[in-house]
Amino acid sequence: MKVVENTIPDLAQLLNLYRTVGWLKSNDNIDFLKEVLLNSDEFICIYVGTTLVAFGRMLTDYHMSAFLDDIVVHPNFRRMGLGTEVVKHLISKVPHVKKVKLTTYYASEFYKKLKFQKPSCTPMELIVNI
């Protein structure tokens, strides 16, 4: 297993990883993903051999808050600790922030195990492009 920080991976592999969880629209492509990565503050890839098996990224000001996004482990490599490794590695890059935030639909149990809790506030979003 190899952990690689902030280095653009083989984008075809990353595209496939995103597609395993249905996060991309049909017209989102490699160029789109590249821009997403280049404009993220931190991202991490985990490889087994040359296969990209886990990914996560973070937007942060390094002082007040950090937002985790797109934490994903390939279905064939889940429940082996890789998701935990991705989250802990990203959080280790922001030792001074007051809050690390994220949203999740289906992975609350995973994040609870990492000491995340349901916020007392109500998350809101504005969808500007569909």
Ligand X SMILES: CC(C)(COP(=O)(O)OP(=O)(O)OC[C@H]1O[C@@H](n2cnc3c(N)ncnc32)[C@H](O)[C@@H]1OP(=O)(O)O)[C@@H](O)C(=O)NCCC(=O)NCCS
Residue among 21, 24, 36, 91 that touches ligand X (CB under 6 A): 21
* Residue nearest ligand X, Cβ-based: 83
For position 79 contacting ligand X by CB under 6 A, the verdict is: yes
Number of residues in contact with ligand X, rule: CB under 6 A? 17
The tokens for 60 are 């942060």
The tokens for 119 are 């916020």
The number of beta carbons lying within 10 Å of the beta carbon of residue 67 is 17
**Which residues are paired to 44 by β-bridges?**
5, 56
For position 46 contacting ligand X by CB under 6 A, the verdict is: no
Task: Give the position of tokens 């996004």.
Answer: 69
Asked whether 73 and 82 are in contact (CB, 8 A), the reply is yes
Stretch that binds ligand X, among 27-35, 40-48, 57-65, 70-78 (CB under 6 A): 70-78
Instruction: Find the DSSP H helices in the chain.
Output: 11-20, 30-38, 82-91, 108-113
Q: Which is nearer to ligand X, 47 or 110 (CB)?
A: 110
Stretch that binds ligand X, among 2-10, 43-51, 66-74, 120-128 (CB under 6 A): 66-74
**Which residue ranges make up the site for ligand X (CB under 6 A)?**
21, 71-73, 78-84, 104, 106-107, 109-110, 113
